[in-house]
Amino acid sequence: MRLAGHLKCSIRNIIKYGFIWLIICMIAGGVAAYELTTVTYMFGGLEIKRIYYIYKNLHDSTQKQPEIAVFGDSAVMNGIDCKLLTAGVAGNPVAWNLSSTGQYVSESMMITEELPDTVKTIILGVRVTLLIKTPDELSQTRAIPYKLYGFRISPDVVRPFEENGLEETVRSLNSSQFANVMEARSWVMNSVDTQVRKVLRKDLNLESATADMFYPSPYTKHVSEETLMKTANKQFRRRTADMGRINPAMRNLYDAFGEMAKKRNCRFILIVMPEQPLHKKWDDPEFYASLNKAVERFSAESKFEVWDFRELLEGNYFVDLVHPDSDGAKILTGAICEKLNRGRD
Amino acid sequence: MLFYTLPFFVFFIILTGLMCVLERYDYRKIVLLIASCVFYMWWNPIFILLLLFSIVLNYLVGLGLGKTDRVLWRRLLLVASLAGNFGILAFFKYANFIQDNTLVILKMLGYHPSWTTLNIILPIGISFFTFQGMSYTIDVYRHKLGICRSFLDFALFKAFFPQLVAGPIVRATLFLPQLDRPNKLCFDRRAFALFIRGLAKKVIIANNVAYFADFVFASPQLHGSLMIWLATFAFYVQIYCDFSGYSDMAIAVARMLGYHIPVNFRRPYFALSPADFWRRWHISLSTWLRDYLYIPLGGSRKGTLFTYRNLMITMLLGGLWHGASWNFVLWGGMHGVALVVHKLYVQVKEKYIGVGALDENPVYRFFCFLLCQYWILLTWIPFRVLNTNDMLFAMKKFVFFDFAVDIADKGLGEARLFSTVLILAAFYLVHTWSQFRKGLDIRLAKMPVHAAFVACVVFGFVLFFLWPSKAVPFIYFQF
């Protein structure tokens, strides 16, 4: 009896001060935030918005669906103009530029899963770096928009990463809905940085780039010669002869992407994007000799086409160290059209 | 087990449930002691033996001191206690440091011995519970405290989990009397608000600004003065919110269990002088050092030069207490120099301008505030950047501003520059407001119930979004 009385007294003490209710209120606030996360997520960053924009367009049956899909990172966003591609290829097939900033192969593969059956050609633009270095892991943060917006992630997408030991990528692709929402909370912090960057970087055309299916081109303004050299000094590392080879894991991933395209009855073309000639000042000449051989061999041995445009553009066709300008994009797109048309002949 | 993790909440609910059920106070103490051991063992079970050794050693020395009045025996017992406590501290915390430095000296002398590195794991909270044990035996030796005959009480005093791993360093004079009377669980709004304050400091502020500080200090040589300044400021806020946040939560948890733990921080970043700073920062350590090191060395009783020497020794050892690295010694030394220079300045000022002159002048006070905080900011660089070249570079960039203000491409990826600046600004706004008005936690504790409910919903909402997914351990756990 005394024990019951004591217990009752203790519980009354806890309830009296509203302690439990305060905790319940906090939990309620947390639950409300959890429920709101998915809805508010798309307001987070510009990259997130672009993924959503791509998804929305791929599932919009009211507009003419593409026949050519172009993938890649910001170099492709800036370097391939799909309006020109549509106009330049015989028969004027609709081409969409589905690239996004820092797009990983896994991301391109996830978008490919959502492509309509109208797509007959898949073009993947890669920079030299993405041929020679070990593939980067896809972080959960990058995987979230795809998972929250409903992109399908089939075993075909996950398998190549499992086979190549990219464990973090596999984890990100297989993460639970709860884990995704928890990770998605980061949009709050990211959006602050993105918004301020928008104000500070007048040279970027980020807002309109998110909502453009043809030529997103986020980098519009040429950086000065001085900034170019300063950035090159900071970022460029000397590439030596032993680095001039195709990374085996990267190659496996491109092979898997090619297989995926083949399953969809699509022609798969891998484009090696033009490289800023300034690189040559830093690199060993032997690097280029061995890389040329490696690319040739890669092209000959692959089951898909590899088009090498590394030497296509002069330095003045780049806005910075990586991104071609609109004139550069015209030249590159023209070269792609020419090759595509030649293939049709 | 961190205070803000799910295992702790489950642990605490079970503990308070048991405390509610148990009516006899002795049983409650036993449960609390077992819970404290579980809390400590959660990190690494084997080190409970170390804690047990420390408890038994200090308890037996205390009993021994109570049984004899002979000076020689008392001294021997005190030496045994100090040797035991310093011994475990020296072995677990400083052995690698001593070994590395001995090796350097031997190499300089031309010897190249081949040693096996010991690679000793630093037990969590070791600096805190050894200092706590020593304070007990010294107080008993000095007849300032009666001996504790109950092993249960003494063990609970040493192992009481809210303060076990990162302080505050609770004195026996304050805690042991509390164990003589029945505790009363206290789930009042004040305890809740204090816990919330600590949680907000740690999770919302410290953990979020840590991203930016870590990003810059990982390779300081890639950054200019502005970034170094911002990163230093981020760390300045991070370490305060991290440590004082832990202390707030510890005090709140202890209060809920019916015990009182003294405050450890009094808004140190509003200090106007180095001495003022040490009256507000890590109060339990600074008062420990004052009572058991500075005063026994002679304090300020033996003349000016001795006072300066004592200050320097105290601060150098205080720095070394933080970690086995020359960086912490440098950190302590910088604070020691600041204390000496300030003392000298006060003496000169009092002689030529007068006692208390200018002290109420707001412009003078503001200038003192800026100067003091500038020095504190600078001292955090050796504390944070352990690589010597990086540290010297960062300090150089901090002192000699290079005006390389190019931040346009910094707000990307890991850096989180702009969100960090926003959080720092929000922190300073609330901190300044709390300095001149009542703190938010006090307001939360006193506001009408319905308003408190709304505030908690909003807090839960904000906490959800700003709780980083990457867990950041408390900085002071490593000490």
Contact A29 B457 (CB under 8 A): yes
Contact between B457 and A25 using a beta-carbon 8 Å cutoff:
yes
Q: Which residues of B touch A197 (CB under 8 A)?
A: 408, 411-412, 418
Give me the mean pLDDT over the B391-412 stretch: 78
Radius of gyration, alpha carbons of chain B: 24
Q: What 3-state class would DSSP assign to B282?
A: coil
CA–CA min distance A144, chain B (Å): 14
Inter-chain CB proximity B418 and A192 less than 8 Å: yes
Residue of B2, B37, B1, B32 lying closest to B14 (CA atoms): B32
Show residues of chain A in contact with B208, CB under 8 Å. Answer: 189
ipTM exceeding cut-off 0.90 for this assembly: no
In chain B the first and final C-alpha atoms are separated, in Å, by 16
* Whether B322 is catalytic: yes
Measured between CB atoms, does B13 come within 8 Å of chain A?
no
Report the gap between the CA of A93 and the closest CA in chain B (Å): 37
Cα(B36)–Cα(B38) distance, rounded to whole angstroms?
5
- B 210-249 → A contacts, CB under 8 A: 222
Q: Which of B412, B461, B469 faces A193 most closely, judged by CB atoms?
A: B412
Q: A320 φ, ψ to 5°?
A: -150, -145
- Is the distance from CB of B85 to CB of B130 less than 8 angstroms? yes
Is the pTM higher than 0.95? The answer reads: no
∠ CA A260-A264-A268, nearest 5°, is 60
Q: In A, which residues are within 8 Å of B185 by CB distance?
A: 10, 13-14
CA dist., res. B143 & res. A174, Å (int): 65
- Between CA A257 and CA A112 the distance in angstroms is 9
Helix/strand/coil (H/E/C) assignment for every residue in A92-152: CCCEEECCCCCCCHHHHHHHHHCCCCCCCEEEEEECCHHHHCCCCCCCHHHHHHHHHCCCC
Full pLDDT tens readout for chain A, 345 residues: 555 666 666 666 666 667 788 888 989 999 998 988 877 877 766 677 888 889 989 988 888 889 999 999 999 999 999 999 999 998 999 999 999 988 999 999 999 999 999 999 999 999 999 999 998 888 888 888 888 888 888 888 888 888 888 888 888 888 888 888 888 887 777 777 777 777 777 666 677 778 889 999 888 888 888 888 888 887 888 898 889 899 999 999 999 999 999 999 999 999 999 999 988 888 888 999 999 999 999 999 998 999 999 999 998 999 988 999 999 999 999 999 999 998 654
Which of the residues B322, B335, B342, B431 is marked catalytic? B322
pLDDT, residue A345, reads: 47
A34 in contact with B, Cβ within 8 Å: yes
Q: Tokens 């370490």: give the residue.
A: B239
Q: What is the mean pLDDT of chain B?
A: 87
Can you tell me the distance from the alpha carbon of B199 to that of B253, in angstroms, rounded to the nearest whole number?
12
